[in-house]
Structure 1
Amino acid sequence: MLRPSLKVLLIEDNPGDVFLLRELLADVSSFQFQLISAESLRNALNYIEKESFDVILLDLSLPDSQGLESFVKIRDRVPSIPIIVLTGINDETLALRAMQEGAQDYLLKGQVNGDLLVRCMRYAIERQLSEEALRHSEELFRVALKNSPIVVCTQDRELRYTWIYNGTVGFNNGDVLGKLDSDILNDEDCQRLQDIKQRVLNTGVGIREEVSITTDGEARYYDLTVEPLRNESHEVVGITCASIDISEQQAALRDRKLTEDKIHQQAALLDVATDAISVRDLENRILFWNKGAENIYGWQAEEVYQQNASEILYRETPPEVETALLTVISKGKWQGELHQITKNEQNILVESRWTLVCDRDGKPQSILTVDTDITEKKQLEYQFFRTQRLESIGTLASGIAHDLNNILTPILISAQMLPLRFPEVDERDMQMFEILEESAKRGAELVKQVLSFARGVEGKRISLQIRHLIRDINKILKETFPKSINLCVDIPSSLWMVSGDATQLHQVIMNLCVNARDAMPEGGMLSITGENVVIDENYVRMNLEAKVGAYTVITVTDTGSGIAAEIKERIFEPFFTTKELSKGTGLGLSTVIGIIKSHGGFITVYSEVGLGTTFKIYLPATEITELELEPDLKPLAGNGELILVVEDETYIQEMTKASLESQNYKTLIASDGIEAIALYAQHMAEISVVIMDMMLPLMDGITAIRTLKKINPQVNIIATSGLISNRKLADISSTGVKLFLPKPYTIKELLLNLQQALKNIE
Structure 2
Amino acid sequence: MHPDDRARVRESVQQALATLSDYEAEYRCVWSNGSIHWILAFGRPTYNSDGALIGMDGITLDITSRKQAEQKILEQAALLDVATDAIFVRSLDHQILYWNKGAERLYGWQAAEALGKNAIELLHRDDLTQLNEALKIVVAQGDWQGELTQVSKTGQAITIASRWTLMLDETGVPKAILIVNTDITEKKQLEAQFLRVQRMESIGTLASGIAHDLNNILTPILSSAQLLLMQNTLTDDRKQHFMKTIELSAKRGASLVKQVLSFARGVEGKRAVLQVRHLISEIQHIAFETFPKSIDLSVDSANDLWLVSGDATHLHQVFMNLCVNARDAMPNGGTLNIAANNFMIDESFARMHIEAQVGAHILVTVSDTGTGIPADALGRIFEPFFTTKDLGKGTGLGLSTVLSIVKSHGGFIDVVSEMGRGTHFKVYLPAIPMHEAPPVQDNELPHGKGELILVVDDEAMIRQTTQASLEAYNYQVLTASDGIEAIALYAQHRDTIRLVLVDMMMPSMDGMTTIRTLLKMNPQVRTLALSGLLSSTQISELEGIHTSTVLSKPFTTKELLENIHQVLEAQADIA
Structure 2 length-normalised TM: 0.41
Answer with 1 or 2: which has the greater Rg.
1
Structure 1 length-normalised TM: 0.32
